[in-house]
Amino acid sequence: MTETNKNLFNLDELSDYKVAENYSDVRGWDVRDANNRTIGKVDHLLVNKTAERVVYLDVEVDTTLIEEGHNTYQDPASGGVHEFLNKEGESHLIIPIGMAMIDEENKLVSTNQIDSSTFAKTKRFKKGDVIDFGYELNVVRHYRGDNTIHHTDSDDGFYDREEFNDSLYKKGL
């Protein structure tokens, strides 16, 4: 992931972007998977400037999930299944905004589309790393279990996909 391929920006980096009035700022909220297991906390909101909106939640992953994911890499991938190899210090992952729902009352973000096993096997990154479009594409493919998702760059309607539709939100970001 290189600076020249930077596609996403932390909301905090952009002085002309902020969480809109009457919308929830979910930073610091717990994130739960499809089985109601806590997988981490929202650390940042990630903006794509071309789309002019938040497209991902940057989640700091719970250490128990990291340990679970680490164990899965002991087994070789088989049957065409591709698994990511995470390294020490890689404790963040992204969730497309349209795959998350918020519960303002309990200050909680959840996804009914991704379970902890999938999160544990997701390629993570170190806090502060630049996230390039290749990483985004691989993560969306991984969450959907669909390697046919194919785009050559992020400006060709990638963020028009249902994974980035925030209508599932009680209130969008």
Asked if residues 48 and 40 have their Cβ atoms less than 8 Å apart, the reply is no
Q: Which of 139, 50, 130 is nearest to 94 (CA)?
A: 139
Query: Average pLDDT of 140-169?
Result: 78
Give the fold, CATH level 3, of 3-15+25-149+160-167. Photosynthetic Reaction Center; Chain H, domain 2 (3.90.50)
Name which residue leads in pLDDT, 173 or 15: 15
How far are the Cα atoms of 8, 16, 24, 79 from residue 20, in angstroms, in the given order?
18, 11, 8, 45
User: 167 pLDDT exceeds 60?
Assistant: no
- Work out the end-to-end distance of the chain between its first and last CA atoms, rounded to an integer number of angstroms: 26
Q: How many C-beta neighbours within 10 Å does residue 148 have? A: 6
pLDDT tens by residue, 91-147: 999 999 999 999 999 999 999 989 999 998 898 999 989 998 889 999 999 999 888
The Cα 37–Cα 15 span in angstroms is: 34
pLDDT of residue 5: 64
For 4-34, the pLDDT digits (tens) are 568 899 999 998 888 877 778 999 999 999 9
- Give the per-residue pLDDT at 52: 86
Q: What is d(CA 167, CA 173) in angstroms, rounded to the nearest whole number?
A: 10
pLDDT digits 0-9 by tens, 37-85 = 999 999 999 998 888 889 999 999 998 887 775 544 444 444 444 455 6
CA gap 53, 165 in Å, rounded: 11
Taking the complete model, does pTM exceed 0.85, yes or no?
A: no
CA 76 to chain CA centroid, Å, is: 25
